Amino acid sequence: MNIDVYTFAIVLGITYSIQFIIFFIEYHLHKNYKGPGWWLLWSSAASLGFIFMIIRQIKSLEQIAILFQNTLHLLAAFFLYTGLMRFYGKRERVKLLTFLFVVFIFPFTYYIFVVDNIHIRTELIWSMVTIIAAITAYDLFQYRARSENIAISICLVAFVLHALFAGLKVILLLSGSEINTLTSQKLINTSTYVEVLIVSFFWTYGLILLINQRLTSEMRRSKDHFEIIFNTSPDAIDVATLFSSGVQVSNYFSDISGHAYASYITLLAKEGIVA
């Protein structure tokens, strides 16, 4: 059975379209965070890249489509990495990223328009993917926060597996494995589509979880901060709602009234203030 490249393109396109919607929402909900905007760029670049993968089937547009498809996929990896660094308030490796892009774009363009060599082009793109995935995993491990351990672990596993897969693919290519065309039935090609779908899912899930864990951590710190202010205030303070579970008294209030939190609730109940 021949592999239908259009089916793969549609599945991957739908995947990245969903990611685009997710990060579009996350960006507008959490504009105070610097990461989601870059992750929105990542999903946008990846989506456009797969659109060009379909366009390259048009013979007259094939060369231009190949250039844009692979360049967008490389930029998507840059954006994903940059978003993670910005999320942690760190600066991405701008000089290294610029160097990698230059090292990639000139020979890649040469092997499209001057000498058509899909084998060398594939080696170039997957070498870049290996390097970026490895750098992202390394920097992410360095800057990880304990409060976000689960999300970071998911992202780290995805990046490490992606780097290992890309590195293995480069080794196989250098050893002489054939690429042929996008519709080739060889395992080295078909496994690529599966791997991209898997790591994309884990990246999306991990990044959403990362944002949620950051929000939870900030809410916990905010709650602890106000509780410290409340309990160390020199004034007698009580906070009451219509429900007994909502009554809270400061330490100073307890000292001067002689009523702790639990006994104060009982006192208010006797007075008919709370039920």
CA–CA separation, 128 vs 75, rounded Å?
Answer: 11
Rounded-to-integer distance, Cα 53 and Cα 68, Å: 9
Average confidence (pLDDT) over 193-200: 85
Predicted structure pTM score:
0.77
Lowest pLDDT segment from 144-158, 186-200, 215-229: 215-229
Same-domain pairing of 214 and 253:
no
The pLDDT, as a whole number, for residue 149 is: 80
Q: Are residues 256 and 163 both part of a single domain?
A: no
CA distance 132 to 36: 19
**For residues 86-110, average pLDDT:** 94
Task: Tally the domains of the chain.
Answer: 2
- The answer on 155 and 247 residing in a single domain is no
For residue 102, being part of any structural domain is answered with yes
Q: Answer left, alpha or beta for residue 272, where phi above 0 means left and psi between -120 and 50 means alpha.
A: left
Q: pLDDT grade, residue 214 (50/70/90)? A: confident
Q: 148 with 55, same domain?
A: yes
Q: Is there a single domain that holds both residue 113 and residue 152?
A: yes
Domain check: are 259 and 191 in the same one?
no
Q: Which whole number is the average pLDDT over 137-145?
A: 85
Q: 262: domain range?
A: 235-270
* Cβ proximity of 237 and 253 under 8 Å: yes
Q: Which residue has the higher pLDDT, 143 or 69?
A: 69
Would you state the pLDDT for residue 5? 53
Q: Is the pLDDT of residue 274 over 50?
A: no
Beta strands in 100-225 (DSSP E): none
- Rounded distance between C-alpha atoms, residue 45 and residue 248, angstroms: 51
Helix (H, G, I), strand (E, B) or coil at 239: strand
Residue 232 in tokens: 């160390």
Q: What is the pLDDT of residues 249-266, one digit of tens each?
A: 555 555 565 555 444 445
Query: Does 85 lie in the same domain as 26?
Result: yes
Token digits of residue 58: 């048009």
Burial of residue 198 (CB within 10 Å: 0-12, 13-18, 19+) is middle
Mean pLDDT of 215-235: 62
Tens of pLDDT, residue by residue over 28-48, are 998 888 889 999 999 999 989
Are residue 143 and residue 69 in the same domain, yes or no?
Answer: yes
Q: What confidence tier does 62 reach under pLDDT thresholds 50, 70, 90?
A: very high
Token pair for 203: 């990246």
Tell me: pLDDT of 244 over 50.
no
In terms of Cα–Cα distance, which of 85, 100, 204, 213 is closest to 149?
213
Question: What's the mean pLDDT when you consider all of the chain?
Answer: 79
d(CA 124, CA 132): 12
In a domain, 111, yes or no: yes
Gap between the Cα atoms of 87 and 31, Å rounded = 11
pLDDT higher at 205 or 2: 205
**Per-residue pLDDT tens for 161-190?**
999 999 998 998 888 766 555 544 456 666
Contacts of 263 (CB under 8 A, 6+ apart): none
pLDDT in tens, 123-137: 999 999 999 999 999
| Same-domain check for residues 121 and 245 | no
CATH of the domain at 201: 1.20.1070.10
Same domain for 16 and 121:
yes
Q: Closest Cα to residue 162, out of 191, 184, 139?
A: 191
